[in-house]
């Protein structure tokens, strides 16, 4: 079964809009884990506009009580604070994302021809820590072998193009491209994750068409759904539509 990692960036963004410390990132993580989430994802950016370094340390401590759950830290390894935090808390997974410091959100995968040399060093540094490394990639089958050569363990397929085409005449063709990218990654020895703009509506079709997706990380849509359903009920419903219980 595909595992669900709950991204808490939007909880932190709301908290940071006031000085009251609410809503609590730690409380949200606990609720999600108690509801059955398989992991927690955060993306601490250089400007700390949502997740802060202190959140990462507190979440690492919380997750000690859930040894089967996974802590996934996303970020650009060429910008602080990703590598510093990885050394400090040794997460189970780091997802390396080519975000510019001021990017609103992740909106493209790595250009390995341009960045591969620098990435290889970062991948090696993280793997010495015992951390699994996933590279955020566009669904281009021809690039997956190069990702494997850098030492990555997985790729995370950037799914916004699929979400944008969900429910249109282009859906089947776009899904076929993702399926081909997943098969290419797996053929190169890589695991496959996915994330960005996935939701309860488009997730079942994606998982049915794309083979062997190990994990999805979902934040924006999940937190939006939680405003209506409650966080625990939302996590349970995402797991249900993913084929779990």
For residue range 73-92, list pLDDT tens digits in order: 999 999 999 999 999 999 99
Tell me the pLDDT of the chain averaged across its residues: 96
CB 80 within 8 A of CB 93: no
Task: Give the catalytic positions in this structure.
Answer: 43, 74, 196
Q: What does the pLDDT average to over 88-109?
A: 88
> Quick one: pLDDT band at residue 245, thresholds 50, 70, 90?
low
Beta strands in 17-153 (DSSP E): 39-42, 70-75, 93-96, 132-137
Q: What does the pLDDT average to over 140-166?
A: 98
Report pLDDT digits (tens) over 112-144: 999 999 999 999 999 999 999 999 999 999 999
> Quick one: pLDDT band at residue 105, thresholds 50, 70, 90?
confident
At residue 151, does pLDDT exceed 90? yes
At residue 17, does pLDDT exceed 70? yes
**pLDDT given for residue 106 in this prediction:** 76
Task: Please name every residue paired with 213 in a beta bridge, in sequence order, or none if there are none.
Answer: 192
**pLDDT given for residue 100 in this prediction:** 74
Report residue 92 as tokens: 């189970």
At residue 165, does pLDDT exceed 90? yes
| H-helix or E-strand spanning residue 7 | strand 3-7
> Quick one: pLDDT band at residue 27, thresholds 50, 70, 90?
very high
Instruction: Please give the C-alpha separations between residue 171 and each of 16, 88, 140, 141, 174, in angstroms, as whole numbers.
Output: 37, 42, 16, 18, 5
Task: Please name the fold of domain 3-241.
Answer: TIM Barrel (3.20.20)
Query: Rounded to whole angstroms, how far apart are CA atoms 155 and 123?
Result: 12
Q: What is the largest CA-CA distance in the chain?
A: 49
**pLDDT given for residue 114 in this prediction:** 95
**pLDDT given for residue 19 in this prediction:** 95
At residue 208, does pLDDT exceed 70? yes
Query: Rounded to whole angstroms, how far apart are CA atoms 119 and 193?
Result: 19
Domain residues of the chain, as ranges? 3-241
pTM of the complete model: 0.96
In terms of phi and psi (left: phi > 0; alpha: psi -120 to 50; beta: otherwise), the region of 73 is beta
Backbone angles phi, psi at 133, to 5 degrees: -115, 125
Residue 200: partners with Cβ closer than 8 Å, 6 or more residues away:
221, 225, 237, 238, 241
Percentage with pLDDT > 70 across the chain:
99
> Parallel, antiparallel, or unpaired for β 132-137 and 154-158?
parallel
At residue 55, does pLDDT exceed 80? yes
């Amino acid at each position: 079964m595909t595992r669900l990692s709950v991204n808490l960036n939007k909880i932190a963004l709301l908290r940071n809009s006031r000085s009251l410390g609410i809503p609590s990132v730690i409380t949200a993580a606990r609720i999600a884990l108690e509801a059955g989430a398989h992991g927690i994802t955060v993306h601490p950016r250089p400007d700390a506009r949502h997740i802060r370094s202190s959140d990462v340390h507190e979440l690492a401590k919380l997750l000690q009580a859930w040894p089967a759950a996974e802590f996934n830290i996303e970020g650009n390894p060429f910008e602080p604070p990703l590598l510093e935090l990885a050394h400090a808390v040794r997460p189970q997974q780091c997802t390396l994302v080519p975000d510019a410091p001021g990017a609103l959100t992740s909106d493209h995968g790595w250009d390995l021809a341009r960045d591969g040399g620098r990435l290889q060093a970062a991948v090696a540094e993280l793997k010495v820590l015992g951390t699994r490394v996933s590279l955020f990639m566009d669904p281009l089958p021809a690039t997956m072998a190069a990702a494997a050569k850098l030492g990555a363990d997985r790729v995370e397929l950037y799914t916004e193009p699929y979400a944008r085409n969900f429910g249109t005449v282009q859906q089947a063709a776009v899904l076929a491209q993702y399926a081909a990218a997943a098969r290419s990654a797996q053929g190169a020895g890589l695991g496959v994750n996915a994330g960005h703009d996935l939701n309860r509506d488009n997730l079942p079709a994606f998982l049915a068409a794309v083979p062997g997706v190990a994990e999805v990380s979902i934040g924006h849509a999940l937190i939006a759904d939680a405003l209506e359903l409650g966080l625990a009920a939302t996590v349970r419903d995402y797991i249900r539509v993913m084929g779990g219980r």
